[in-house]
A and B are shown apart, each in its own frame.
Chain A
Amino acid sequence: MSDTETLVRGILDGDRISVSRAISVIENDLYSDRALRILEGINPRTGNAHVIGITGPPGVGKSTLIGAMVPRIAVDDRKVAVVAIDASSPFSKGSILGNRIRMQESLTRHGIFMRSLSSRGLSGGLSFSALGTIKILDAAGFDTIILETVGSGQADLDVMLLASTIVVVLAPGLGDEIQAIKAGIMEIAHIFVVNKLDREGAFQAIKDIEDVLATASQGEWKVPVIGVSASNGDGLDDLNSAIGKHAEYQARHRDRRSSVRMELNLIVESEIMKALRNAIEEDSRVTGIIDDVSSGARDPFQGSRMIMGALSQRIAGKK
């Protein structure tokens, strides 16, 4: 494996092997010094990519839709990358990373870089590894990064906030259109898509969502509801132009402070986790505290406070 500097140079040169390896560093060892140094090294070249988030319940056709949209987005030499997060089995912790297969043909034809992340190895750190992956792709010169997540839990919603244009995809026949809207997705959606327009009930679903939206207070950006069929191509041009319009809108209205706050939050969290790991591995004070709590000499709350004390000293560089 190459050293951090070589990896950083490779990323900046757009070398895909370096990009892929760097993402692995973030994935394998989320809270390592190496991960943070890579991200710091490439940081000056980040901030140019447009990140499109695609979320919604499983089975609505998100991956198929991405495959169908890629030819429309990868025009005029725009370089496109896809990052898709698959949920893993809660039992074995393994996962079948099935998103890729739905878009493989399109990826091959258009030379798209795609990476599948499983949410499992990343428990808690999903947002940080997604942030790191996006930064690496951004620095490597990808103009558009498409991020797919299943819109089910809080962790997925948090990941979506890394995107500048958030597309929520629903489909008829799932009976959960309104449910999904209620579950916190409403607030973050910039564009609603009803996929499977070729199926019965699609137009009703569009109308239901429009009704709900009509009662919500919206800002300057009016959230459109777009019917599409990823399988026959209907409505995809409309979706593409809505994404383009939102990209322009958000470039003018971007709330820089809120994205900076989120980014700092994730990086600080990572630094703390790194310090915690080092402390657990090598700080004799921590082993002592574990002994004390095990023997009942202290309760876990006292123990945790003492670990926090040791941590803050470590972070401050005093050891």
Chain B
Amino acid sequence: MFKDKPVKVLLAKPGIDGHDRGMFVLARAFRDAGMDVLYAGLLPTPQEVVDTAVNEDVDVIALSLLNGAHLTAFKKVSDLLRKKGIDDIAIVGGGTIPDTDKPKLEKLGISGNYGPGTPLSVIIDHVTKRATESRKKKMGSG
């Protein structure tokens, strides 16, 4: 009855990779898992992704890219968010990310980094886990 606001997640693909279908599949899976899902639209810049995430106060930004530009694009989003002093919105990544890049993303706090074919349940569990951490921080010293 109280305090039952669902996890809020922003799906964004900050670059061209011509694969919108995957995003819609994810969006529906997240909704069916009880989340509130926002979609950042076509070709959002990292600045737009961060502005949307802040205005909507989401718990998690889920970034995905299949074009190989993840390191620069994901890092930009993460940098802009930190620059605003925000540490209670988590970032998770996905796409075609080589194993060697994963530790670099992890170091930026960008976790998950799942490749195509990862079971939806694995992604949902991970997003839920990161969202719970964000919520805790948000509720923290109030």
Interface residues of A, Cβ cutoff 8 Å to B: 1, 3-4, 16-17, 20-21, 23-25, 27-31, 34, 88-89, 91-98, 100-101, 104-105, 108, 113-116, 118, 120-121, 277
Contacts and interface: CB of A to CB of B under 8 A. Distances in A.
Chief secondary structure at chain A's binding surface: mixed
Nearest to A281: B2
Given A93-B34, A94-B31, A96-B37, A121 B142 contact: no
Contacts of B35: 94
Contact of A96 (B31, B52, B56, B84): B31
A228 to B, nearest CB: 23
Interface string B52-94: 1011110000000000000000000000000011101000000
A116 B75 CA distance: 26
Closest 3 CB pairs of A and B: A94-B31, A121-B5, A94-B34
Contacts of A98: 39
A95 B32 CA distance: 8
Interface string B35-55: 111111100100010011011
A115 B54 CA distance: 10
Contacts of A104: 40-41, 44, 48, 52
Given A94-B33, A114-B55, A17 B84 contact: yes
B126 interface: no
A41 B55 CA distance: 21
Interface string B118-142: 0000000000000000000111111
Could you say which of B1, B28, B88 has the most chain A C-beta atoms within 10 Å of its C-beta? B1
Contact of B54 (A20, A30, A91, A120): A20
Contacts of B38: 97, 100, 116
A66 to B, nearest CB: 15
A118 B6 contact: yes
A3 B142 contact: yes
B36 A95 contact: yes
B57 A1 contact: no
A105 B44 CA distance: 9
Contacts of B6: 93-95, 118, 120-121
A108 B56 contact: no
Interface in B15-35: 27-28, 30-35
